[in-house]
């Protein structure tokens, strides 16, 4: 019978896999497992983050429940990934927050709304929220620029520092010296794997087994839309920063300006991708899922979707009385994403990328 402890259970299941080896063509996880003579706890964290939860190994497995071995690699690895976020990224005092990600996100979003509401109340006429503001500087007539800029910079710095701590700790434990990370070939190769979400295509490039038993490319495509949508939105924000703080041109910008065009493409990508992923998850077979991880996914996708929807509404309704309240809600959602970034789903990209880098190095050294 499999042990109760999560890491011991994962090692026990992987030892069954190592004897069986039926799934070795499905993804990078099984070849990486076979390179190890004996599995350790850090190996489990590495392999779990290399797993993209595409699930053919669950549906193909003759030892999956109701077999007494109860091998369920996607579910076990989801639990391990969730533990990764608290084990590596968090300052010790925050350990455990990842398990309450939905409540954490809701609380941070509510506090952010209160914060920006208080800023408006203290710095301008609150009735101005519902007035029409038009032309350059319209946003600043609702919320002073410093009140938008400074908290955003502080939160971004905080998220970056917490994630960098996680990178150093994860790499140190699962791979070794930090200098090994500066392997250009592996960094570029893993970048290509990440940008194309290569290992979300399952065995024989058929796609993930979502929402049920049967391969489909829909999860891979929706994931690409969210990922690239996020990158485009980030580019739009960076260009807007240059316009505002270096060129001295305040927002909002014309429809055909670079920030608006990048932001619109990114926003639409995130809305379609996040909404589609929520639908796929809701329809998906719960048997290979970890329910707490699924709740984290829902909450992250909901806040990402809300941030993108309010951003697009802000663009469409910026010349109307709705602009002030939309701006406050949009800023609060973006804030909530940044504050919770190191503790939840947004962090998975960082650990997965590190696992992909390690996989590239290992595959080169031991093909």
Q: Where along the sequence are the contacts to ligand SF4 (CB under 6 A)?
A: 16-17, 20-23, 26-27, 29, 51-57, 60-63, 71, 73-74, 77, 199
Three-class secondary structure assignment of the chain: CCCCCHHHHHHHHHHHHHHHCCCCCCCCHHHHHHCCCCCCHHHHHHHHHHCCCCCHHHHCCCCCCCCCCCCCHHHHHHHHHHHHHHHHHCCHHHCCHHHHHHHHHHHHHHHHHHHHHHHHHHHCCHHHHHCCCCCCCHHHHHCCHHHHHHHHHHHHHHHHHHHHHHHHHHHHHHCCCHHHHCCHHHHHHHHHHHHCCHHHCCHHHCCECCCCCCCECHHHHHHHHHHHHHHHHHHHHHHHHHHHHHCCCCCCCCCCCHHHHHHHHHHHHHHHHHHHHHHHHHHCCCCCCCHHHHHHHHHHHHHHHHHHHHHHHHHHCCCCCCHHHHHHHHHHHHHHHHHHHHHCHHHHHHHHHHHHHHHHHHHHHCC
Task: Please report how close the Cβ of residue 274 comes to ligand SF4 at its closest, in angstroms.
Answer: 21
Closest CB 33 distance from ligand SF4, rounded Å? 9
* Least distance (Å) between residue 158 CB and ligand SF4: 32
Nearer to ligand SF4, 28 or 296 (CB): 28
For the CB of residue 17, give the shortest distance to ligand SF4 in the complex, in Å: 3
Least distance in angstroms from the C-beta of 71 to ligand SF4: 5
| Min CB(268)–ligand SF4 separation in Å | 29
Nearer to ligand SF4, 71 or 225 (CB): 71
Closest to ligand SF4 by CB, 60 vs 265, is 60
- Residue with smaller CB distance to ligand SF4, 23 or 333: 23
CB of 96 to ligand SF4, least distance (A): 26
Q: In the complex with ligand SF4, which residue's Cβ is closer, 275 or 289?
A: 289
Q: Which is nearer to ligand SF4, 57 or 277 (CB)?
A: 57
Task: Considering the complex, state which of residue 70 and residue 187 has its C-beta at the smaller distance from ligand SF4.
Answer: 70
């Amino acid at each position: 019978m499999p042990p109760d402890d999560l890491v011991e259970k994962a090692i026990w299941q992987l030892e069954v896999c190592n004897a069986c080896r039926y799934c070795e063509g499905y993804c990078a996880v099984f070849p990486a497992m076979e390179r190890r003579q004996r599995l350790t706890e850090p190996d489990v964290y590495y392999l779990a983050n290399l797993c993209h939860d595409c699930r053919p190994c669950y549906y193909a497995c003759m030892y999956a429940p109701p077999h007494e071995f109860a091998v369920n690699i996607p579910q076990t690895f989801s639990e391990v990934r969730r533990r990764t976020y608290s084990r590596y990224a968090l300052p010790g005092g925050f350990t455990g927050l990842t398990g309450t990600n939905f409540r954490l996100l809701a609380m941070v979003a509510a506090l952010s709304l209160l914060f920006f509401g208080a800023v408006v109340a203290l710095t301008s006429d609150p009735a101005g929220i519902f007035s029409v503001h038009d032309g350059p500087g319209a946003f600043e007539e609702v919320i002073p620029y410093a009140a938008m800029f400074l908290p955003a910079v502080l939160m971004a710095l905080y998220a970056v520092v917490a994630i960098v701590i996680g990178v150093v700790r994860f790499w140190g434990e699962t791979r070794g010296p930090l200098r090994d990370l500066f392997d250009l070939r592996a960094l570029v190769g893993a970048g290509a794997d990440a940008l194309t979400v290569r290992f979300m295509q399952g065995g024989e490039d058929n796609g993930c087994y979502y929402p049920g038993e049967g391969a489909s490319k829909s999860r891979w495509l929706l994931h690409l839309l969210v990922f690239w949508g996020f990158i485009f939105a980030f580019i739009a924000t960076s260009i807007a920063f240059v316009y505002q703080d270096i060129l001295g041109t305040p927002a909002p910008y014309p429809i055909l300006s670079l920030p608006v065009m990048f932001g619109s493409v990114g926003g639409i990508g995130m809305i379609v991708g996040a909404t589609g992923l929520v639908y796929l998850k809701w329809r998906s077979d719960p048997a290979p899922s970890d329910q707490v991880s699924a709740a984290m996914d829902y909450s992250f996708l909901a806040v990402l979707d809300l941030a993108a929807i309010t951003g697009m509404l802000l663009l469409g309704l910026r010349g109307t009385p709705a602009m002030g309240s939309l701006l406050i809600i949009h800023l609060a959602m973006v804030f909530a994403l940044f504050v919770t970034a190191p503790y939840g789903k947004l962090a998975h990209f960082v650990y997965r990328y590190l696992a992909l880098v390690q996989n590239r190095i290992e595959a080169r050294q031991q093909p």
